Amino acid sequence: MIRSLLVDTALTVGLLAVTLAATPVAGAHQPGSVPLDGVGRALIAVVILPLAVRRRRPLGALAVTAPATAAYLAAGYPYGPMLIGYVLAVYTVALRAPLRRAALAAGLAALALAVHALWSLGASPGWSGLLPTSAWTIVPFALGVTVRISREAVLRDRAAQARRQADDERLRIAQEVHDVVGHGLAAINMQAEIALHLLPKRPEQAETALAAIARTSREALDELRVTLAVVRRGADRRPAPGLDQVPALRERLAGAGVPVVVTVTGTRRDLPAAVDLAAYRVVQESLTNVLRHAGSAVTADVLIGYGDEEVTVEVIDTGSAEPAGRTGRPGAGGDARAGAGGAAGPVLSGQGIAGMRERVTALGGTFDAGPREGGGFRVYARIPAGPRR
């Protein structure tokens, strides 16, 4: 605000000085014009000085500038840089004032200048002077409205982009929370069922299951805190999880009663953070689905392949190939889910298999998930990782 005021003040002083110096020179080349005198100089000052507040008070500046300009021209004083002040006032009104008020003010200003075209103390242009006189108002007003519309369109685009970015960020956080909490709750649910089953007959083994529940819940809460930290400005962020954490994931699944065999092919390499995170989330969500839908009476194989320009992950389980309505396994035509124990439990759109697919395809990869012949389920993802360094 202060900077714009200083700029406008400097512009006003400079324009006033140039106008007072140049107008007599311009008048020498305009036969019939009235020589510039004290009244003319005073009118020039009244026309130009309001420009210092044209951004803060555009309508007020034009309300002073327009009558003074009309009086100056009607008196027959020579044309000169003074008209720049009037043009700037009209342009600023069109650019910054409410549009209806701006149009009304510009119309009244044009009428004031029409006095010069119809009646002048010097030369009398008459009706033929209306068109060029009107142009001093119409052209800057049209330019101001055009710039105004363009700026408003840019602001709308920026606001829409900000909303899209916010929506994308919320979706990303929702996916992260779903992956973290979903995996932890599935493991906790499985251990709780085991503990309930063992408690009457083998309480010592039930105690082991309860300890696993406590450990899993602690780990899930810790990872959830890290995930939610991204919404707090300036929060310290630990590195996002990646494929190097798959062994810890395997141990948690083993504690929940699901043996997991991890096989790595190719030479391990450093992956871009987004690729590493997406690959890990595919493994995590796939194993979580094993807990949810297949139970503990299965095994799972995780195959991680490091290529020269890509990484692949494949998760295969040995669950039953029964229809989706009995096992809760996702069918080919949807992303329905069932909780542990077979209770129906819909997942928010965009999570589960759909969420994995979005993660992979957003990075230019391919994703496939579906039942295997002979039973079980297979999830496969290939993600470009760039050339080796």
Encode pLDDT of 305-315 as tens digits.
998 889 999 99
Least confident of 31-45, 240-254, 318-332: 318-332
Q: Rounded to the nearest 5°, which phi and psi values hold at 265?
A: -120, 155
CA distance 272 to 279: 11
Nearest to 48 by CA among 69, 71, 34: 69
Domains and CATH numbers, the chain: 2-124 (no CATH), 162-384 (3.30.565.10)
Sign of torsion over alpha carbons 15, 16, 21, 23: positive
pLDDT tens digit sequence for 17-52: 998 998 888 888 888 788 889 999 999 999 999 999
**Helical ranges in 199-291 per DSSP H:** 203-228, 246-255, 273-289
Which secondary-structure segment (H or E) carries 379? Answer: strand 377-384
Top-confidence residue, 104 or 119: 104
Q: What is the pLDDT of residue 144?
A: 94
pLDDT tens digit sequence for 63-94: 999 999 999 988 888 888 889 999 999 999 99
Q: What is the pTM of this model?
A: 0.51
